[in-house]
Amino acid sequence: MIVDDDECFREMLRLSLENCGFNVRVAESAGEALELVACCGIDAVLTDYQMPQTNGLQLCRALRDQDRTFDRRLPVWVMTGSNALAADEAIAAGALGLFAKPFRTSEVAQILKTALLADAANANVAP
């Protein structure tokens, strides 16, 4: 799922990831994202950092709280065009990493595929 209040960027990224083989849902706010995660079987989240009302780090923390409810760890990455956010801040909030805009969608897609394959492999390992 892509969470970004910028409709043009959100749609461009959605189309690019769909062209890489992903099924993509989009949300324009953290609140909408939390609702989709709770009901729609989301496998990973790419969230913008700078959004009105709730920023990407706050969304990461809320998703981590939701993870405890659903007994899982949803992969989350933060995207930003700002130099004010460091990767360690995103990781401390619960993200797997930070993508600095502009970025190559092919690189993001490869990182997503690797993370989702690792999650699938871990889910298939018997305790």
Give the mean pLDDT of 6-28: 97
The first and second tokens of residue 97, run together, are 């990493």
Q: What is the CATH number of domain 2-123?
A: 3.40.50.2300
Give the mean pLDDT of 58-62: 96
Give the mean pLDDT of 14-25: 97
pLDDT band at 121 (very low <50, low <70, confident <90, very high): confident
For every residue of 19-47, DSSP letters joined together read HTT----EESSHHHHHHHHHHS----EEE
Tell me the CB-side half-sphere exposure of residue 51, using CA atoms within 13 A: 29
Give the mean pLDDT of 19-28: 97
Backbone angles phi, psi at 46, to 5 degrees: -115, 115
Q: Where are the domains of the chain?
A: 2-123
